[in-house]
Structure 1
């Protein structure tokens, strides 16, 4: 049965920022389709979101172009033409270069560069035919400035920024807009689902703390409101929080200085254990660390993780 509401598709809508973006769209009167790889996670998200409006969930891996095309077909069959696409799906891999493998790069690029490409190209024919549509790609401050110990992530996010900005240019005058979204750190609880390599417990300690403390990280509900408002307004770029705004300006004015500053930060972070290139999820790394101090510092992040379906 086709919905009479406008339809939004949110790949990566089962948890974290994607869940909050989906909720914001529902509160604005959209029927929302959420997609992710984990059907149990999707079911929990659907139950959580259903009190806000019409929501359907679909299992889909954005790395697979045929699966994404099938997803778009199914959503349009069930809910009607897709008016808004906001691609949030992503992974975080944290660790020093010496502990990073080529497979880590492949997974990051397939998910966060090719994922938005697959999704945008799948919805575009219908949107262009109707001369109406909004496409948002959630990149990151890590797609503006490459932060230390996040090289696969930054590589993929830089690709997403290039694609989304180029897409906005290519769609000029078509009635369809493309918005590049660059958030900074947000208290979504994603540090518990991030992956860490090298000295994974120490990597978790700095990243989890940064992603949980006020000032360094922003309220995720507010971030979701900014994201959705920017996409619906058809803005070409949305910088979410103070960190991307500062990074964008400083890097633009003094790129060499920015790179050197990131290099200094890199030297302050945990060193490598070259034999350790396996990835450990944040929850596992936190258990191995077993630090009362880090538990206190990540209190707000842990609260967000419980709230935003970051835990099974």
Structure 2
């Protein structure tokens, strides 16, 4: 090896080392403690939202959660208080701006201004496109896009005044790659990803870091509360079996830890799960090929029929197959995370 080659290798090594050191210093500078912070988690009474609430509470945060289901909300608040957390619960429809404004105002009065916002509220309607109606698309946009906008608009002024804040928008790999039989969901999550990235670009200068989370399948137990249409028992079986597979789905606790870590260091984006990362990368490189692959996948999914455009919950679509040991991990997660 000649001297010129050696010098080039040394220069390259020094450059990489310098970049790594700079990245580490920037990461350390952004580190955000959650102790004595006020954290608002939408959709926080069950599933991933409840797991996040538990973990933030363990780190000494003051917790506010909201839900549209009062009994689940009461149970979640009772559990968090038993663990010693300071917690407020709100029966709030986050797609209603007035309700959001009233909730954030009360949180500010009782716990202090929101310093960490987790936009986690969501809805899923699974089924073939033939069975989807305009209200399915409107509902998905209202909850995934407009609700996230309303909460961000409410908390950003106080964050600007303090010169710091964290906002986490729970999107989905479905917001990067459109998935058949989840078209309203995917379309609204694409919109959320775009808005989340734009908010980050404009709020960084105020010390407010917006993080976009794109999870793949997670074992939260939430499949039983999803809506299914068409051949609903078959649709639910596909959903439940994929969610319960530990090879392609992520445990809720592991996902929550990664989300909290991303918020702590103000990361721009975090894609959760090896399969989701692979799918996102492939779509970025070969968008047409991945879209055509989804066409092939769609041929193996249940066709229209069954209950048609009517929709029922996953738990109303259970069969002996979906209550078998094949979905044991899902059943366990549902029991742990207040999904019953």
- Once residues 208 and 293 of structure 1 are traced to their aligned partners in structure 2, the CA distance between those partners, rounded to angstroms, is 7
1:303 aligns with 2:332: yes
SS of the equivalent of 2:244 reads: coil
Give 2:15's aligned residue: none
Structure 1 stretch displaced more, 237-246 or 175-184: 237-246
- TM-score normalized by the length of structure 2: 0.87
Query: RMSD of the alignment, in Å?
Result: 1.3
Q: CA deviation at 1:295?
A: 2.4
Q: Is the 8 A contact 1:12 1:34 kept in 2?
A: yes
Equivalences for residues 12-161 of structure 1 within 5 A: 12-50=43-81, 51-161=83-193
- Greater C-alpha Rg: 2
- Once residues 267 and 292 of structure 1 are traced to their aligned partners in structure 2, the CA distance between those partners, rounded to angstroms, is 22
Give 2:291's aligned residue: 259
SS of the equivalent of 1:29 reads: coil
SS of the equivalent of 1:298 reads: helix
- Once residues 216 and 183 of structure 2 are traced to their aligned partners in structure 1, the CA distance between those partners, rounded to angstroms, is 16
Equivalences for residues 200-215 of structure 1 within 5 A: 200-215=232-247
Q: CA deviation at 1:52?
A: 4.7
Q: Is the 8 A contact 1:205 1:294 kept in 2?
A: no
Give 1:190's aligned residue: 222
- Once residues 306 and 56 of structure 2 are traced to their aligned partners in structure 1, the CA distance between those partners, rounded to angstroms, is 44
- Once residues 278 and 190 of structure 1 are traced to their aligned partners in structure 2, the CA distance between those partners, rounded to angstroms, is 20
Q: CA deviation at 1:130?
A: 1.1
- Once residues 149 and 203 of structure 2 are traced to their aligned partners in structure 1, the CA distance between those partners, rounded to angstroms, is 14
- Once residues 293 and 275 of structure 1 are traced to their aligned partners in structure 2, the CA distance between those partners, rounded to angstroms, is 19
- Once residues 275 and 213 of structure 1 are traced to their aligned partners in structure 2, the CA distance between those partners, rounded to angstroms, is 27
Q: 1:101/1:80 Cα in 2 relative to 1: closer, same or farther (>3 Å)? A: same
- Once residues 137 and 189 of structure 2 are traced to their aligned partners in structure 1, the CA distance between those partners, rounded to angstroms, is 11
Question: Aligned pairs, how many?
Answer: 305
- TM-score normalized by the length of structure 1: 0.95
